[in-house]
Amino acid sequence: MWRGIKWLAAILLLSIAAFAFRKPAEEYFDIAKSLDIFATLFKEVNAYYVDEVEPQKLIRHGIEGMLESLDPYTDYIPEDELESFQITTTGQYGGIGALIGVVNKKIVVTHPYQNFPAFKSGIRVGDEIIAIDGKNVQGKTPVEISTLLKGLPRTTLELKVKRSGKSETVTHKLTREKINITNLSYYDIIEPEMGYIRLDDFTPGAAREVSQAVLDLKKRGARKLILDLRNNPGGLLHEAVNIVSLFIDKGLEVVSTKGKVEEWNKRYKTLNQAIDKEIDIVVLVGEGSASASEIVAGALQDYDRAVLVGQRTFGKGLVQTTRPLAYNAQLKVTTAKYYIPSGRCIQAMDYTHRKNDGTVERYADSVKVEFKTKGGRKVYDGGGLDPDIKVEEEYVGSITSALINAGLIFEFASKYCGEHPVKPDLKSFQISERDFENFVSYVKSQKFSYSGPLEDDVDKLVEAAKKDRYYEQIGNELEGLRTRLKTGESAEVKTYKAEIIEILSEQIGFHYDLYKGQAEIFLKNDNAIIEARKVLSDSLTYNKLLSVN
C-alpha cells in the first residue's frame, strides 16, 4: 500500500527537484501540504471504505486524473507498459514481424512486415492464427497473443495458421528476430520525372530513409517530389530537423523550443549539406499530420521550399521529454512549446484555459498572429498549418464505415485473394461488377446489421413519442419507417457502390502486396495526390504559390 503512496510522491517530488531554484517558499509548503493530505486521505480510504480497494489501481487512477488535467501528451508509463512505449518510440522489438488483430471474432494477421520471419515463411494478410507452440489461442486477446509472439531474438516458435478458402491448417516454424520497422511505407516514380514518398513515422532512421529514397528517385529520373505526411502523428524531433536539412542550406534554423526550464530551451539548425535545394516539392498534409510532421511541413513552408496541399494539420506544438521515476517507471511530460522558422507556434488547443466542465477549446481566430515566410507570404499561428492548396477531406459514408468496422471489407478481401491466388496488375486493378455483387451477397450472408444516422433519429423520435404519449397515435408510422430503413441496407450498400469498390480494391491490393499494392491503386484515385500532380506539372502555378501575391 505505502509503496503506491511513495510512487505518487516520487512523481510530485520530481517536479520540486527540477524547479526548486525557481519556486518561492510558499509553493514548497503547498506541495508538502498536498502530499500530506493525499497520504492521509489514501490511508483513511484504504482502512474504512466499505469494500476492499486495490492500492496500486487506486493510485494509478489518481495519477491519471492528475495528468489528464494538464494535456493529453503528459503521460505516466509504468514498468509493465515500458516495452510497448519503447516499441512506439524506437520502432524496434523482438518477434516475428507481424501485426495482429480481431476480425469477426478471429485473430488474424493484419500486416506481416516484408523481409521479416512471418512474411518470409509465407504468412500473409488475413491468415487466421489457430495455435502458437501447439497451444490453441482462440478466445485470447490480441495483447495476450502478441506477448506470446514476442521474445528474444534467435528463439523459436511454431505458428499454426489457416488461410481463407483453405480447409487445412499450415504450421510455420519461425525464428524471432530483432524487428526494426521502417518509417517509409512506400516510395516510387508515379509518373515521368515525379517521385512519391509516404512517410509514416519519425522513429530512428527516418531521415536516412528519406534521404536514400530521394537519391534513388533522382537516379531514376525524378525532378519533382510528393512527400506524403498525412496521418503521420510525429515522433523524434531531431529526425524532423534532419529531414528538413535534406532540402535547405546548412546552418538554417528549423525549430526552437521554449519552456519553463531555460537551460532546456534550444535552437535546432540544419547540420548537414542539402542533397537537393532545387527539386520542386509538394507536401501532403491533413488533420492527422502532427508534431514532427508539422515541423517538417511548417519549416519547408516558412522557407518557401514546398507547397502544402491537403487539409489543416492537427496543431500539436508541444514537446515531450521522458523522465525516469522510481521502480523503473517513466513520466512523459510536456516541457516546452516549439516554434518554426517564421516564429509561429502552431499549437491549436489551449490547455491552459479549460472551461468549467474540463473541456478545451481551440485558439480563437481573433487571437491568431500573422507571421511571414522567408519570401514574405502571410502565415498564421495557433491552429495548425494551413495548406497552400486546400483539398476537402474525402469522408466515407456511414454504411461504408460500418462495413469496415465490422471487418467485412477485410474478410471479403481475404476471401477474394484466397480464390484468386495469382496477383493481378494492381496499377489497373478494380473489382468487377460481378465481384461487387458477390460482396453484396457476402454481406447478406454474414447477417450484417447496420444502424445509420436516420435509424438513430427514428429511435429518438420513438423514444420522444413514448415520453410525450404520442406513440399510440403515430407509432405505426414510426415503426413502418424503421422497418423500411432496416430492409434498405442492401440498397444503401449499392448507393455507395463506387466508394465501396474503391476501398475494397485498395484492401485487396494490400492483401496482395502490402502498402505497395495498396498504393498502386489509391495513387490514381486520391484527390490530394491528383492535385499535387497537377501543381507539380505546372511550374508557373508552382512558383506563383511560393511567391508574394
Active site members: 291, 302, 316
Compute the distance between CA of residue 300 and CA of residue 289 in angstroms, rounded to an integer: 15
Q: Sign of the C-alpha dihedral, residues 150, 153, 158, 163?
A: positive
> C-alpha distances in angstroms, 231 versus 198, 223, 254, 334?
10, 25, 22, 22
List all residues 6 or more positions away from 483 whose beta carbon is below 8 Å from its beta carbon.
Answer: none
DSSP 431: -
Place of cell 488535467: 69
Compute the distance between CA of residue 525 and CA of residue 211 in angstroms, rounded to an integer: 27
Q: In what order do the strands lie in the sheet with 307-310?
A: 184-191, 194-199, 224-228, 280-285, 307-310, 389-390
Closest among 426, 352, 391, 381 to 527, alpha carbons compared: 391
Q: DSSP secondary structure string, 115-126? A: TSHHHHTT--TT
DSSP 50: S
Supply 50's cell numbers. Answer: 466499505
Neighbours of 169 (CB within 10 A): 13
